[in-house]
Amino acid sequence: MEDPYPLENFLEIENNPHLLGRVVVSRSPRGFNVEVDIVQKESKKIFKHVENLYAFDNPDEALEHGVFKLSSFLKNLKH
C-alpha cells in the first residue's frame, strides 16, 4: 500500500480569487507535521509561507491545527 503523505489540502480564501490556502500534512519519525502556506491559485507557487507545525500524534489533529493557523493568519490580515 502506497503512503499517501505528504497530503495537500487546498482551501478557498474569501474575497481573493487568485490565492488559495494550502495545508500540507506529512509523516515523520516523530509524528505528523504541517506546512501552512498561501499559494497562487493557477501555479500553486508559494505566495506567503505562514508556518510549520510539528509532532502531532495523528494526521487529523495536524490538519485541524494547520487550518486553524491559516484562519488565524488571515483574520489578522483583515484588522
Domain region containing 60 = 7-78
* Res. 18 pLDDT band, cuts 50 70 90: very high
- For residue 60, what pLDDT is reported? 97
- The answer to whether residues 25 and 5 touch, using CB atoms and an 8 Å cutoff, is yes
Domain count, the chain: 1
In a domain, 16, yes or no: yes
Residue 78's pLDDT band (cuts 50, 70, 90) = low
Give a yes or no: residue 41 inside a domain: yes
Spatial distance between the Cα atoms of 37 and 23, rounded to a whole number of angstroms: 7
Q: Report the C-alpha gap between 2 and 35 in whole angstroms.
A: 21
3-state secondary structure (DSSP) of residue 79: coil
In a domain, 1, yes or no: no
DSSP-derived secondary structure for 10-39 = EEE-TT-TTEEEEEEEEEETTEEEEEEEEE
Mean pLDDT of 57-74: 97
Say if residue 1's pLDDT is above 80: no
In a domain, 32, yes or no: yes
